[in-house]
Structure 1
């Protein structure tokens, strides 16, 4: 009776002689999501402060938002394919929120209200001001931030 060759089970990987075993995938998706959300909030505040101080949007800052969010998602979350997409979406939200913060800071310079009061009590007014100021360049900054987040999350995944 001849014995037939039995390949190893699909879930076990046997390295070839002389080669090390492949590294286990690193990263925790939940931790990556939490880190990306925290990074998006921090980046929105920083981006808004930059807009408020300069009274204009800066493309490099929007790219920085995307890089920060993507790096947090990829570095802590690992190679899960949903993380780059999530980072891009969070980056869009962060650039938008930063725009609102910037409008509130600019508005606080001319109104007898603080930026915090504008954001909490008069958010619709701040949103209308943002829509009035938004143009094609604003949309480009959204796209740059989302692209930077997606690529950074992909490349920084460990």
Structure 2
């Protein structure tokens, strides 16, 4: 009881004997601490920021046809606009809108190859061009997914595929 009274007297001493400047300084510090605490609580309560789009992904091989397909699902409550899906940093799929709750089924040949540089990285000149031929314009049917990047006006996500 005595220590609680001492704390109250000490706090009261800050305000009673001080000038207006001292009171304002303490008020600014208290408001700053309250803002920091509120921000930390707000960030801690926010939804999973790793998947700001609310995207779902799946991969399956259709055995009778020996074809692989990809699933991209919009699990959020809002439509995605200006959607760009990049597979393995090389193959691109573009669509204007994916509606909320919708699922897109994609095959490797739905992706177009968009990133070909006709020389190896690190060379200073173009004298020695790449000896490998340019890949087909669409994804090969045996494409092994490693990284899926989804970009839309509403957000983005990178999904690493084991």
More helix by share: 1
TM-score above 0.5, yes or no = no
- When the two structures are superposed, what TM-score results if normalisation uses the length of structure 2? 0.24
More strand by share: 2
| Structure index of larger Rg | 2
If asked which structure has higher relative contact order (CA below 8 Å, sep 6+), I would say: 1
